[in-house]
Amino acid sequence: MQEGTGPTLTSWCMDLSRRQVLVGGASAVFLAACGSSTHSTSSSSTSAGTAGPRQLFNAFDAEQPVGKALRLPVGLANADGSFSSDLPASIAVQLKKPDGTLGSPTTIARHQDGLPRGYYPVLTTFDVTGRWTIDAVVDGKHATTTVDVKPANEVANVPGAGDPLPKIPTPTTADHHGVNPICTREPACPFHTVSLDQLIGGTKPIALLVSTPAFCQVAICGPVLDLMIGRKAKLDAAGVQVIHAEVYVDTNAKVTSPTVNALGLDYEPALFLAKGDGTIVERLDSIFDRVELDAAVAKLS
């Protein structure tokens, strides 16, 4: 999809469904956190076209674990499903429990520094299982999307803050480890000089980005590798050693890479920021801007 042509969320999800699931199987989710259309709705959207009420959509997996601190980015779309370009500086959000209890409203600022489109990161911890609702006030009207909250052992066990990164080899220019190409960006990024297993146990912090630029070009997930490249001087100054790992072993985009399998990922992109010993300090899923990236890097010091 090209910028400026009004890509719709429907066509975005259809494109993703062609390479559909990172781990395979009927229960898998779309990549790039394209939530199932059954979980992304607007309670006030009644007509097609950009003039109607806007919709809230998930930029995260619609199944999330109970009892864990979560960062859930959401976006806004026009009534016809095209990405909204004129995003408000903030939105007011309330979380509704499965029993209908509403939480206190929270104002969430738009994040868009260094990105073509903005998003809103919802930070929360769900305390009960069931279907929760994210209710946002947009343009004076309510727009909603839902999250299925499940026991932690029933959702993907992706390591997060406090967990160790797996000490695994990642593809480098010297050793592809069966992944070809090791970077689908054109030109290739500079983050393939050293393997993850060689860094863990050292003294310098680590940033591991799992993404596939050639297969994720839309405005939500496409820019994150370029954002990391644009921040390379700052990351170098902070002593952060950056590794980029592709999602698939080749351009057929059917077999997932050993890195993806070791991390238990069924979505992408994902950025893991860890101390030298491999302990994860922060994980940023799906989309992040320079503000969130810089804040996460600051936690490594």
Per-residue model confidence as pLDDT tens digits over 223-239: 899 999 999 999 999 99
pLDDT of 191 > 80? The answer is: yes
On average, the pLDDT of the chain sits at 84
106 neighbors 79 (Cβ within 8 angstroms): no
Q: Would you say residue 6 has pLDDT above 60? A: no
Domain's final residue, options 133, 154, 175: 154
Q: Indicate if 132 and 233 belong to the same structural domain.
A: no
pLDDT score of 49 more than 70:
no
pLDDT one-digit tens code per residue, 119-162: 999 999 999 999 999 999 998 999 999 999 999 999 988 999 99
CA–CA distance, 265 with 276 (Å, rounded to integer): 22
| Cα–Cα distance for residue pair 145/95, rounded to 1 Å | 10
Q: Is residue 162 part of a domain?
A: no
Q: Which residue has the higher pLDDT, 31 or 187?
A: 187
The answer to whether position 224 is within a domain reads: yes
Whole-number pLDDT of residue 85: 85
Question: 150: domain CATH number?
Answer: 2.60.40.1930
Higher pLDDT, 75 or 41: 75
Alpha helices per DSSP H over 182-289 = 196-199, 224-230, 232-237, 258-263
Give domain status of residue 14, yes or no.
no
Judgement on whether residues 204 and 143 belong to the same structural domain of the protein: no
Residue 3 lies in a domain: no
Q: Are 84 and 51 in contact (CB under 8 A)?
A: no
Q: Is the pLDDT of residue 84 over 80?
A: yes
Q: Which of 92, 123, 154 is the last residue of a domain?
A: 154
Cβ-based neighbours of 247, under 8 Å, separated by 6 or more = 22, 31, 210, 211, 212, 215, 253, 256, 257, 260, 265, 268
Residue at 113 is within a domain: yes
Residue where a domain terminates, one of 121, 154, 187: 154
CB crowding 201-210: b at 16 or more within 10 Å, else e: eeeebbbbbb
| Domain extent for 256 | 196-298
Q: Is the domain of 143 the same as that of 207?
A: no
Measure the CA–CA gap between 33 and 260, rounded to whole angstroms. 15
- Claim to verify: residue 134 and residue 230 sit in the same structural domain: no
Q: Does residue 67 sit within a domain?
A: yes
For the chain, the domain total comes to 2
At 17 the pLDDT is 35
Question: pLDDT for 236-254, tens place per residue?
Answer: 999 999 999 999 999 999 9
Residues 206 and 290 in one domain: yes
